[in-house]
Structure 1
Amino acid sequence: MSDWSRELSAALASGETQRMREALARVPQEAMRQALPLLEEMAARSERDGRLEEALFYRDCAVDAVPERLRSRAARAGLRLRLARYAEALDDATRLLAASPSDPEAARIAAQAHEAMGDAERALPLYRIAAVDASDSASAEAVRRLESELRKADALRRTLDPDAEPMRIETPPPPEIRFDPAVRDDPTMPADAEAFRIDGIARHLWRYSGQSSPRNAIARLQDPLWRDAWNRALAATAGQRVRFVGSELGVLALCAHRHGAAHVLCDERYPLDARIATGMVQKHFIGPWHARYGDAIRDWSEDERRASFEEFARAVDIAAPSGAPGSQERVDQERVDQGRADQERADEDAGAPCDVLAFPQIDHTLLGTGIVRAVRRHPTPEVLPARAVLFAMAVRWRYPDDGARPFALDAVDRLRWSAYPQPLDLDAELWEPMTAPTCVGRIEFAAFEETAWDLALPALRDGRIDAILVWFELRLGDVAIDSGPDSALRCLRPAVYDANGVAVRAGDDVALRIEAHETRLHARTVPSPSRPHAQGLPSWYVPMLGDTRRNAAYREALRRSIGAAPVRLALDIGAGCGLLSMLAADAGAARVIGCEQQPGIAAAGRETLAANGYADRVSLIEKECRSLRIPSDMPERADLALFELFDCSLIGEGVLHFLHYAREHLLTADARFLPMGATLRAMAVEYRLDRLLDVDASLLNPYLASPEFANVDARTLDYRPLSAPFDVFEFDFATAGPEPQERALTPVATADGTVGAILFWFDLRMDATAVLSNAPDGDGTHWKQGLQFLPEAKRSAGEPLPLVARHNGSALRFQWQGESMPSEVFSRLPRLDPRWLAANAELEQQTRQLLQHCAHHPEEYAKVARIAQRMAVDPARYGLDPTIAQRFMRMFLNAKD
């Protein structure tokens, strides 16, 4: 027996707390971890016997032994609360909430601690979180009690002091947060960032990422070039053992099996992907299995059937993940007990030999979804893709010159930034090369080494470097596919790295540095961009500014309107950077006032107006339309309302609400409206997945659909019209209000098929002579189309399609008319996976609770924001979807400049 073991035995026998503490301090850490069950048992026994101080000693030891184990910390928090150590209990509960924002037990402990310390205002929102647990009647009662007490206290205070302001539950304001561009160069977590907080956020976002993964896979599978490249590459795997890290929901696994692969193992990255892939594989094999064994199956027991089918389908295996990458809470005993069998299977699969490793889940940044880590984890003779050749080019942003006066929009360009490189989704007219494309170097995935390339590229012209485009040629066996600017590939576009407008002259060398790290590719100018960011542009904003059809339609309509009758004052509602305001001034409006509620865009708009010489005629106010007042904001009512407040559903940005207010408070009785009105139009379509790569893909349709309508580019969809276009709602903007409307519609099926969605668009009446439309068969605009999914129904040509269209002033929805069709025409497959929807709703609720918690704790807000920025820059390090990580980061950017 070792010295520390004998000393510990004697100390435990003595029952003296200080002696036991000193003895335990000399126990090796690994031994303490192994002794965790004993420590917790001793703590529980001491609590049952009423020896709470002794129990706390054991709880402290358990937390010290495994700091990341949340169950141990929760038990200690509850015990500290019983011992009236409220500040210490609150510290534990705060850590638990940072790791799991929706944990009702942690919220209850934190609430009770706050209340015990006399802080009812902070206790109340925490009790509300705890009361989500329907069994916690005490927390629900505490919510009612505290609400009542706070109201009474407020009433008493105002009785004693009638002039006092009504009491508000004040919390310290959160710190101003901006994105620090230095994080792009080094996204390592700060040394003082607690592991439990990092782990909690990573696990939450990993679960979010898993919910998004099926949609991402389907988007890749719908790209015919990408799909064909993988089909050709997998044709060479006949007779080989293939491991997929992400099998595209089983489709590529079954494709490899069809091409003769000896065995296929799918190492899925998320539980939902594994569940879907398992269903795809089972559906693929169930028919041939029945065909082989026929009636004999009926005489087998359930266990015999299961064993037979598993043996029959053993050519394709699915391995589900055991937890989030890097998740420190895997040691939690509940998860270990529940998932032990799955983990043993996953460990066995992880060591299984294979001839080919396939990693199809590559994004536009090449390394940002974790291909290098996957290859290092599973060394194989062949990797698909095997290598990539990198290319780069410096560019500047531009806006198309349609023959009219060009405007300087440099101030808007400063809002074009992203923590993670975005795919280039712009027409060629919206950017201009500042250097020639150059080959950077080659990356071999099986022999990857971190590398940096320093480039000096001659500038082609005077100007500035706004961004660096990086793309690659990917080698899939004998197949080459490239993501360059001129490529027809849809699912992979060049990656855009911010450069912050470095000024250059023609012939100057542009210094660039491209770095290949294990989990990311990073491109930057030398020196690196250094301007912090807070406000940014939504993804649709630049395409809107560059929409020449839209701009020309507004310009010509303004000229006709103001040319026919002078305008004293035009009101530009939702003015953005002031482009339409400047067009109105050019058309002859004596004065233009624009309103824009987004601070960053409003500031850029004022700078744009000044830079283009309009500051004396055009004003831009940082307010929402319904906050404007006369005469403080406007000297008089306007006689022209100018607006472009349309999403693909026409009314989704609130145009009817804004116009209703403007007519009542801001416009003359005879004011003109530009546009004058609009017609919302639609058609019924068949849009579904049937076969992909000769694989039955019908099980994927619940993940293709969405509960709300989707914004789509119909030119890229493989849909089939099943009705003629029909009118849905008509709006005259001089009179239309936000009141709800409902309309029964009965278009007729024009062909046999399965109606599963309504594709819709709008025709804008700019004036009495001109219409601007985003119809799917027309010339393109920055507005795309809307797609509302419906329960699928089989219909024959000539049969009616009884629909109902509704809107509440801003939200549009289509549905089938109640009992208008027999139930047998509808598909038995759910339109949406209810488990998937429920998980999404739960995650959204947890995010709201986390934000609420951070809003009440400024220090916590700052800590989470720092972590979020690093996860957004390097999501693959934590196994996260880049879009999810970046969206989370932006929730914490609150600075106005």
Structure 2
Amino acid sequence: MPQALQGMRLDGIRKHLWRYGNQVAARNAIVRLEDPHWLAAWDAALADLTDRRVVLHGSELGVFALRALHHGAAHVVCADPYPLEARITTGIVQKHFMKQWRARFGEAVASWTEQEQRASFESFAACVDIVSGEPQTVLEADCLVFSQIDHTLLGTGIVQAVRRHQGEGRSIRRVLPASARVFAMPIAWNYDATGYQLEALNVLRWSPYPQPFDVETTAWTPMSEPIEVGSLDFSDFQPAIWDTRLPIVKTGEVDAIVFWFELDLGGHCIGNEPGSPLRWLKPAVQHIDAISVTDGDERVLRTQMTETRFHFQLGDSASSPRSQSLPGWYVSTLGDAPRTQAYRAAISRALDGATDSLVLDIGAGCGMLPMLAAEAGARQIVGCESNVGIVQAGRDVITVNGYADRVALIGKDCRNMTIPEDLPRPADLVVLELFDCSLIGEGVLHYLGHAREHLLTESARFVPAKARIRAMLIEYRLDRLWDLDVNLLNPYRAHTGFINVDATRLDYRPLSEPFDVFEFDFATAGPQPEDKVIRLPAIASGTVGAVLFWFDLGLDEANWLPNDPHAAGGSHWKQGLQVLPELSIETAGELPLRASHNGSRLSFRWEAESLAKDDFSLLPRWDPRWLAANTELEQQTQALLQHCVQNPDEYAKVAEIALRIAVDPAAHGVEPGIAQRFASLFFNT
């Protein structure tokens, strides 16, 4: 392939991913704005901009611009990188000034011509300019603000942005954040919560871009004290290599480097160290190949800093080529000690000394549940798992833990299993943990229906034996941030389908009591669709616009494993959230909700026949142009993937480009999360 054509391919993919970035930028900004600690730190920084002319590289949808003016800034330029951001910023800013403008001129406005009204308003709001992308004219400003930082510090292009805005002919002298101190710590993964040796999985704990480090403290062990590796000045950035001596405090293997930073926001500091109260900005973790260390050793950690990324190397640590990775949700599963203990007890009760029982695990992963069954005395367990990488690592896990003589791990979907090729006879006990936050989204009802017909005895037992989906209606919206009306942000906060959330980090208000949605007995439940209307009394006045839902597992007749957002400790599954058209309600009003599933997808909607059109909010739940652009992008991505599947040589070239962009997204002008998701389409294949 000529280099020119390869460059065209790279440029085409980069532009495609940039358009995805335009779609997610507003939602990312809203996530930042919803973090009270992040907001408070920036409020203190913006308060120091009195009488300053300010350029905001990313105005946080106009919110930071208006807050800077509130604190006395003389003039603000909102230089929003994406067109959608600029459009939303325009709406927020105009709505804010329109109210003040009308209050000032009152009824006199009605007698003006349209041109006079426009001229008057533009003059009134002249303290704010809004541009999309890189400004084409020289900006006379005192300060540049860049708040769109992610967990890696440099991965969203802050250094590049500062250099552009401080280029020839520009007068910007001050940058916020002004500087940063960078800290790091080597860690080892800890699987004590499972009771098994799972280190064989570490080969799959890899990602091209450092991931947010949001892992339970029980799931990792620090191998040295945290240490400052260096500092940088954003106004005068210079690439650097820092060599830092690390005193090792524990014998074992270093599996990853965790790093974080402290930002200087003009005398006001905020950091994302482990345990920080920040909701959205976590430390970052870079995976490395395991390195053995001994307590008392002193190792050198080399930190290479470029404009767009940090890279850490401990001693002679290499990085083996990787093509498979552990799904992110799987990591949290391994650290869920209450789940493991509950399953351990339930499997033991289900076997009840019947060691001759044949146990089948559907969706066995690395073999955790099969090993629990072997631990409880079962002499023959077969697990099926379709993820090739996890199967390979799982077989090593089973061997290391001494269960290879009793546990067989098969790389198949259970619907492709047969007797006696894969199972010597029908199984007596089924164990499974094939659930997403909606319970049924991974196809558990389909798998069970097939297994009961082809792979199980008529009297087979199940762990869990049953499950129920529960939910409550909530108010989930943004009305004000500081003294600003930000209601216009709500259509960009919503998702068309449900999403996985941690309700303990979610700002919402219950407007109904929790209620049962669907119940499933796994001995009989199949993928047959269900549809029902649930009429719920409101418990408070407000604007109801979302369903928060979860599931509870009935491990047997007497014991439940709850996933309730109010349950102590919680679980790795967390909860689901689906937004709905908003309704204004009064206490004791009735809320008619229709719940349905098609065997694998759960959904909610209002029972429209029971509601009047006037009951609904006038503000649209989604921006139709935004939705249409999403649909078009998804269709283009599917067409690209289909083309790659049909052309192996093309697949290899696109996969290489996807990985190249994912490793260093800022260097390609791509939003990091988008780059990671695109690259993951080519993993595990």
| Pairwise same-fold verdict (TM > 0.5) | yes
CA distance in 2, matches of 1:862, 1:747: 53
Aligned equivalent of 2:108 = 296
Range with bigger deviation, 617-626 or 872-881: 872-881
Aligned equivalent of 1:366 = 153
CA distance in 1, matches of 2:553, 2:78: 50
Is the 1:585–1:617 Cα contact (8 Å) retained in structure 2?
yes
Deviation at 1:532, TM superposition (A): 1.0
Pairwise mapping of residues 248-267 of structure 1 onto structure 2 (< 5 A)? Answer: 248-267=60-79
CA distance in 1, matches of 2:108, 2:158: 45
Amino acid at match of 2:33: L
CA distance in 1, matches of 2:467, 2:242: 53
Amino acid at match of 2:394: G
Aligned equivalent of 2:176 = 384
Aligned equivalent of 2:498 = 709
Range with bigger deviation, 691-700 or 264-273: 691-700
Is the 2:272–2:283 Cα contact (8 Å) retained in structure 1?
yes
CA distance in 2, matches of 1:524, 1:816: 54
SS at match of 1:216: helix
Matched, 1:782 2:572: yes
Amino acid at match of 1:850: L
Is the 1:567–1:639 Cα contact (8 Å) retained in structure 2?
no
Pairwise mapping of residues 195-206 of structure 1 onto structure 2 (< 5 A)? Answer: 195-206=7-18
SS at match of 2:608: coil
Q: Residue deviations 1:583-622, cap 9 Å, x none?
A: 0111121210000000000111111101111000000000
Identify if the C-alpha distance between structure 1 residues 858 and 668 changes in structure 2 by more than 3 Å, giving closer, same or farther: closer
TM norm structure 2: 0.97
SS at match of 1:229: helix
Matched, 1:246 2:36: no
CA distance in 1, matches of 2:113, 2:153: 49
Matched, 1:511 2:300: yes
Is the 1:682–1:760 Cα contact (8 Å) retained in structure 2?
yes
The partner residue of 1:854 within 641, 644, 664 is: 644
CA distance in 2, matches of 1:750, 1:401: 39
Aligned equivalent of 2:606 = 816
Deviation at 1:382, TM superposition (A): 1.5
Aligned equivalent of 1:835 = 625
Larger fraction in helix: 1
Matched, 1:882 2:659: no
SS at match of 1:886: helix
Is the 2:193–2:335 Cα contact (8 Å) retained in structure 1?
no
Aligned equivalent of 1:233 = 45
The partner residue of 1:312 within 104, 124, 131 is: 124
Pairwise mapping of residues 518-597 of structure 1 onto structure 2 (< 5 A)? Answer: 518-563=307-352, 565-597=354-386
The partner residue of 2:440 within 636, 651, 655 is: 651
Aligned equivalent of 2:387 = 598
CA distance in 2, matches of 1:564, 1:724: 42
SS at match of 2:451: helix
Is the 2:38–2:278 Cα contact (8 Å) retained in structure 1?
yes
Deviation at 1:290, TM superposition (A): 1.4
Matched, 1:675 2:464: yes
TM norm structure 1: 0.74
The partner residue of 1:394 within 174, 186, 211 is: 186
Deviation at 1:193, TM superposition (A): 7.0
CA distance in 2, matches of 1:852, 1:557: 44
CA distance in 2, matches of 1:695, 1:317: 18
Identify if the C-alpha distance between structure 1 residues 192 and 431 changes in structure 2 by more than 3 Å, giving closer, same or farther: farther
Pairwise mapping of residues 68-79 of structure 1 onto structure 2 (< 5 A)? Answer: none
Amino acid at match of 2:637: T
Report which of the two structures shows the higher radius of gyration computed on alpha carbons: 1
Amino acid at match of 1:657: H
Deviation at 1:567, TM superposition (A): 4.8
Is the 2:54–2:76 Cα contact (8 Å) retained in structure 1?
yes
Q: Residue deviations 1:828-878, cap 9 Å, x none?
A: 011011111111111111112222233333333333222222211111112
Is the 1:467–1:499 Cα contact (8 Å) retained in structure 2?
yes
CA distance in 2, matches of 1:259, 1:728: 49
Is the 1:562–1:587 Cα contact (8 Å) retained in structure 2?
yes
- After TM superposition, what 4+ stretches of structure 1 lie above 4 angstroms from structure 2? 564-567
The partner residue of 1:763 within 542, 552, 564 is: 552
Pairwise mapping of residues 298-447 of structure 1 onto structure 2 (< 5 A)? Answer: 298-321=110-133, 346-348=135-137, 351-379=138-166, 380-401=172-193, 406-447=195-236
Is the 1:464–1:503 Cα contact (8 Å) retained in structure 2?
yes
Amino acid at match of 2:635: Q
Is the 1:573–1:642 Cα contact (8 Å) retained in structure 2?
yes
CA distance in 2, matches of 1:382, 1:602: 54
Q: Residue deviations 1:802-840, cap 9 Å, x none?
A: 010000001000110022122222110110111111111
CA distance in 2, matches of 1:573, 1:860: 35
Aligned equivalent of 1:754 = 543
Identify if the C-alpha distance between structure 1 residues 310 and 528 changes in structure 2 by more than 3 Å, giving closer, same or farther: farther
CA distance in 1, matches of 2:667, 2:181: 23
Amino acid at match of 2:186: A
SS at match of 2:591: coil
Aligned equivalent of 2:169 = none
Aligned equivalent of 1:281 = 93
Deviation at 1:289, TM superposition (A): 1.2
SS at match of 1:791: strand
Amino acid at match of 1:207: R
CA distance in 2, matches of 1:793, 1:857: 50
The partner residue of 1:685 within 474, 487, 491 is: 474
Deviation at 1:668, TM superposition (A): 0.2
Pairwise mapping of residues 50-65 of structure 1 onto structure 2 (< 5 A)? Answer: none
SS at match of 1:540: helix
Deviation at 1:429, TM superposition (A): 0.6
CA distance in 2, matches of 1:835, 1:436: 50
Deviation at 1:564, TM superposition (A): 6.0
Identify if the C-alpha distance between structure 1 residues 730 and 489 changes in structure 2 by more than 3 Å, giving closer, same or farther: same
Aligned equivalent of 2:527 = 738
Amino acid at match of 1:209: G
Identify if the C-alpha distance between structure 1 residues 875 and 298 changes in structure 2 by more than 3 Å, giving closer, same or farther: same
Aligned equivalent of 2:31 = 219
Is the 2:476–2:509 Cα contact (8 Å) retained in structure 1?
yes
Aligned equivalent of 2:420 = 631
Aligned equivalent of 1:492 = 281
CA distance in 2, matches of 1:746, 1:399: 45
Is the 1:284–1:696 Cα contact (8 Å) retained in structure 2?
yes
Deviation at 1:441, TM superposition (A): 1.3
- What is the root-mean-square deviation in Å for CA atoms of aligned residues? 1.5
Deviation at 1:463, TM superposition (A): 0.7
CA distance in 2, matches of 1:710, 1:261: 39
Is the 1:227–1:693 Cα contact (8 Å) retained in structure 2?
no
Aligned equivalent of 1:58 = none
For structure 1, list consecutive stretches of 5 or more residues without a partner in the other structure.
Answer: 1-90, 96-190, 323-345
The partner residue of 1:664 within 418, 441, 453 is: 453
CA distance in 1, matches of 2:518, 2:275: 40
Q: How high is the sequence identity, in percent, across the aligned residues?
A: 56
Deviation at 1:886, TM superposition (A): 1.7
Matched, 1:696 2:463: no
Deviation at 1:283, TM superposition (A): 0.8
Larger fraction in strand: 2
Range with bigger deviation, 699-708 or 393-402: 393-402
Identify if the C-alpha distance between structure 1 residues 228 and 567 changes in structure 2 by more than 3 Å, giving closer, same or farther: farther
CA distance in 1, matches of 2:4, 2:318: 25
Is the 2:178–2:234 Cα contact (8 Å) retained in structure 1?
yes
